Structure formats: C-alpha cells, structure tokens
Amino acid sequence: MLSKSKVKYIRSLELKKYRNEQNVFVAEGNKLVADMLHAFECELLIAKPSWMATQGNIPAKELLVDEDEDIRKVSFLKNPQDVLAIFKRPAWLLDEADPSSSLLLALDGIQDPGNLGTIIRLADWFGIEHIVCSLDTADVFGPKTVQATMGALTHVKVHYTDLQKYLETQAAKGIALFGTFLDGENMYTKELSANGIVVMGNEGNGIRPKIKELINRKLYIPSFPPERETSESLNVAIATAIICAEFRRRQGNPA
C-alpha cells in the first residue's frame, strides 16, 4: 500500500512548480508507460500484477505492486489504467536543433495541453524531431500534455526559450521562417522548403506582432471552395497537421 507521504508527493506533481523542483514528470497508461520505459529513466512505477507480467524486466528504481486501488488514489485520469510511472525529465539541448538542414516547429504561446500534445504527435508522425516553444507555452511535462502525446515524447524533443530572440537569430542566418496568416500566400502554390521553421500561434491571438514581423514566408491555408463562407479559423493542431502534411508531400513529390 502507498504511504500517505508517497500519495502526497505524486499528487503534487500535477503542479509545474513541484515537477520542476523534482525534475520529473508523470505518465499513465499501459502502452504509454511501456513505450517510455525504454526512453526515459524511471524513478517510480506502480502497476497491477497483470501489466507487470507482460513486461519482463522493468527498469525502475522503485517498483510497487498496485494494492487497494493505489493507482486510483494518485491518478490524474478520470478512468485510471493499470500503470502509473514517474520519469526523470530528459536534458534536451536546443543546440541540437538545426533548421538549416531540417524542418522545425516553433510554438508561440500555445496554451491548451491537448493542443500541445497533439502537435507533438503530429511532429513525430511527420518526422519533425524538434519543437521550439515560447516560455509561455503550456508545459510539455504536464500530465494532460504527456497523455496527449501518446508516447511521441520518446521521439520529439521540446525546447523552451525566448522565442522572439531565437527567431531573430535564425532570420539573421537566412533561415526560412514560415507562418500562417489570412493575408498570406496560398500554401498549395507557394514554394516550400525541406528545412526551416514553421511558426504556429496562440489559439486565440495567433502569432504575436513582434514575431509576425520576423516571418519571411507568410502562408495561407485556403478553405474550399474559396467563395464559400466558413468559420473564422482552424484549430491550431488541425492547422499544424495540414501544413506539415503539405511540407512532407512536397518532399516526396516536388510538383
């Protein structure tokens, strides 16, 4: 049975302050935890015997068998699964991201954990290995975001920095900076490169003005048919999917 102090510790990790202090994050779910065990250092794992029996050797510093609904006591899910784990946060380096030779995503103030997690999944699907976030973007290690990534964090590195300064530096190097705007050029007729940075903006306000000034490739996702009245905008995760798909299609078929 989990001690009261252990329950309190795990529950505290719902807050960014305590995750930062302990340099850890929580993951839940049978497949999610199994995937992450091979990518991140596991500090603590609580699981039902039936799940443990399918895993073989489990590389966790502390391994606890679920007793008396222990997982339910500490879970952040409405319907807890068979395993919960606490992992050490990885030490990702922004210097590893090279927009001169690969395609990166940059997120300007994305607030919704679900949107962030979905964008990370999209990046993984389309072979984008680095995402650069503004400091006010949702925390990638929050329980809701981790859950929404569905394991994509094992392949995609997420960095937080002063996004304006970072993009200023990249623009000075001649890096292509893409962004979507209502007054941009049709993305299906615009030339798209295999490298550069695609900037996606906040759910309500889009890309902030200072960063918009740095974008040197302004794109527009057209609705269909063009003359038909539609909703004002797309969800940022959906827009990211459309853009990434077109970038990768061009690489496979330049026409």
pLDDT for 38-75, tens place per residue? 999 999 999 999 999 999 899 999 999 998 889 999 99
pLDDT for 6-26, tens place per residue? 999 999 999 999 999 999 999
pTM score: 0.94
Q: What percent of the chain has pLDDT over 90?
A: 89
Q: Check whether 156 has a pLDDT greater than 60.
A: yes
Q: How confident is the model at residue 251 (pLDDT cuts 50, 70, 90)?
A: confident
Beta bridge partners of 178: 198, 217
pLDDT for 94-145, tens place per residue? 999 999 999 999 999 999 999 999 999 999 999 999 999 999 999 999 999 9
Q: Check whether 254 has a pLDDT greater than 80.
A: no
Q: Which residues contact residue 174 at a Cβ distance below 8 angstroms, ignoring those fewer than 6 apart? A: none
Q: How confident is the model at residue 223 (pLDDT cuts 50, 70, 90)?
A: confident
Q: How confident is the model at residue 78 (pLDDT cuts 50, 70, 90)?
A: very high
Q: Check whether 231 has a pLDDT greater than 90.
A: no
> Angle CA(214)–CA(125)–CA(221) in degrees, nearest 5?
45
The chain-wide mean pLDDT, for the chain, equals: 94
Q: What share of the chain is helix, strand, coil (3-state, %, to 5)?
A: 35, 25, 40
Q: Check whether 193 has a pLDDT greater than 80.
A: yes
Q: How confident is the model at residue 253 (pLDDT cuts 50, 70, 90)?
A: low
Q: In what order do the strands lie in the sheet with 60-65?
A: 24-28, 83-88, 42-47, 60-65
Phi, psi for 87 (deg, rounded to 5): -115, 150
